[in-house]
Amino acid sequence: MPPFQGVTKYTTSSTHGKPAAGMLTIGFDRLGLPGVGSWTLPGNRASQRVMEKLGFRYETNFVFKGLEHRYYRLKREWYTASVD
């Protein structure tokens, strides 16, 4: 399970890219996390775009609570804090 499970509920629109970047900076710089995972429904392109802008990379699909989800991972070395 991703360390920040549920964070994407609050970071799905483009206006939330900067707060998400701030949370990731804290996770990597202050907490020393080696990586972060996130997931969304396949049809939620807005969430996928935010994750991709933050540097997350798609890994696989999985079923959660009976629904297919897309799982993304962000390793510390892939992360850049700049979000348009």
In a domain, 1, yes or no: no
Exposure class string for 58-81: b at 16+ Cβ within 10 A, else e: eeeeeeeeeeebbbbbbeeeebee
Domain CATH for 31 = 3.40.630.30
pLDDT score, position 4: 46
Q: Is residue 72 part of a domain?
A: yes
* Contact of 79 with 59, CB cutoff 8 Å: no
In a domain, 45, yes or no: yes
Is 51 a domain residue? Answer: yes
What integer pLDDT is reported at residue 11 of this predicted model? 44
Domain that holds residue 56: 7-76
Average pLDDT in the 41-64 region? 93
Do the domain assignments include residue 68? yes
Task: Count CB neighbours of 16 within 10 A.
Answer: 18
The average confidence (pLDDT) of the chain is: 81
Q: What is the pLDDT of residue 53?
A: 87
For the beta carbon of residue 14, count every other beta carbon within 10 angstroms: 12
Domain count along the chain: 1
- Per residue, what are the HEC states of 21-75? HHHHHHHHHHCCCCEEEEEECCCCHHHHHHHHHCCCEEEEEEEECCEEEEEEEEE
The answer to whether residue 2 is domain-embedded is no
Residue 39 lies in a domain: yes
